[in-house]
Amino acid sequence: MARLVLPRLGYPMSIQRPSPTAASLRRRLDDRTATVGIIGLGYVGLPLALAFARQEFRVLGFDVDPAKVESLSAGRSYIEHIPSDELAQLVSAGRIAATGDADRLGEPDALLLCVPTPLTPQREPDMSFVEATAGEVAERLRPGQLVVLESTTYPGTTEELLRPLLERGGLTCGEDFFLAYSPEREDPANPSFSTSSIPKVVGGADPISAELAEALYHGVVQRTVRVSSARTAEATKLMENIFRAVNIALVNELKMVYDRMGIDIWEVLDAAETKPFGFMRFDPGPGWGGHCIPVDPFYLSWKAREYGASTRFIELAGEVNIAMPQYVVRKLQAALNDRGKPVKGARVLLLGLAYKKDVADPRESPAFEIMDLLLDLGAEVSYHDSHVPQAPPMRSWPDLPPMRSVELTEEALRDADAVVVVTDHVAVDYELVLRCAPLVVDTRGIYRHSGGQAVPA
């Protein structure tokens, strides 16, 4: 049995001699004649499709949303930070195509699963999208295909859930088809890092699958980081996001403590950041958002219970971050009360619906929870966000009324009883807001030294 040493990670990995099926697939991956199928064309899948198409792979995208398939087929981007002109060129050149036809799942040589992995109302993993997709793939799986799960999930998903579903048609993993996990690491609109420049962690259900998955991504990313198993790759993604979740909770808790002490958390952070070692800055806010940070820690908590382990640190971080929108609303209530105004009937304008600055992604944004709480208290709520012109239906807040972004004018600001800065988009005229709004509740440290009508939250 041959042995392959991975010097970057410093440990040997044994691999069996590849079968003719694996060798054939490896050749197609190396010479880029392989077709790459991407299932789920959202914030992860579409950038991934572009990355492969730029490197001369043929990409076939799958999505259950006909609007996305139609838009992509016409070369129109539906994600703000992805330009339509390049997409149109790749579609015109035949590098990218899109379909909603599951019967075409047998065409690609590699299938990358980029489907949602949300939480149930009980904060347990909702694997229905992964299971449904795996079922569709299993019905059409052919020898020589590589399947890679990219969706964030708990350790063991690839081997314990996905593998049995794919093998039920009679094909054997590692011999007839190949299976790996490679977590997405997208950061939408990040000017410094893109899909191709972010190192790609890869772990296989078996050594041959790992080698093939590494070969696949090697053609489109600057660096691949191969780990010993799919479980290790799954745990790596959770480690990254739990690290962020815990530190966000820490700084949010300190914000609340320092506020009671009359200490400016932003000034503290600026001073602490001058230390050249041993400190990494995280900024407080109105709560966590996005698809990853509010969801992924609970995946590990759920899986840990199977092993009789508790994750008290993770659970505590979740409690702190989940409670932040309530803290913002309480600060707003107190500020209105100081001005002799009840929340009921108050006109409140939220600045920002997206979960972070300068993106159009509203998934799990704390703005929706703040909006929901204020509506329950009888406030009249509107919002401004040039990146999100219309509030989409949200799974976690199904009863919110339809709403569109209002124009940020002097009249709109003066008409509001309070303005809440939820997302600190660069395009907002914050001087105009401060000049015209009677009360500003600031969750992002925009108005640190203004005093007067600006209240930190």
Q: Which residues are catalytic?
A: 292
How far apart are the two ends of the chain, measured CA to CA in Å? 62
Cα-Cα-Cα-Cα torsion 391, 397, 401, 403, nearest 10 degrees, comes to: -10
Burial 128-160 (b: 16+ CB within 10 A, else e): ebbeebbebbbeebeebbbbbbbbbbbbbbbbe
DSSP codes joined into one string, 317-370 = HHHHHHHHHHHHHHHHHHHHHHTT--STT-EEEEE--SSSTT----TT-HHHHH
In the numeric block, which tokens belong to residue 214? 């590494």
Distance CA 179, CA 206 (A): 8
CA 119 vs CA 294, 296, 299, 393: distances in Å? 9, 9, 8, 17
300-309 burial code (b ≥16 CB/10 A, e <16)? bbbbeeeeee
Nearest Cα to 233, choosing from 156, 168, 320? Answer: 156
Cα separation, 33 vs 50, in Å, equals 16
Residue 343 sits at the vertex; the CA angle it makes with 340 and 346, to the nearest 5 degrees, is 90
* 3-state DSSP helix/strand/coil % of the chain, to nearest 5: 40, 15, 45
Rounded Cα gap, residues 6 and 9, in angstroms: 6
Residue type (1 letter), 448:
R
Phi, psi of 435 (to 5 degrees): -75, -35
Of 267, 264, 245, 246, give the one whose Cα is nearest residue 255. Answer: 264
One-character DSSP codes across 81-123: TS-HHHHHHHHHTTSEEEE--GGGGGS-SEEEE-----B-TTS
Question: How many whole angstroms separate alpha carbon 456 and alpha carbon 449?
Answer: 10
In the sheet that holds 440-442, the strands lie side by side as 380-384, 347-351, 418-421, 440-442, 454-456
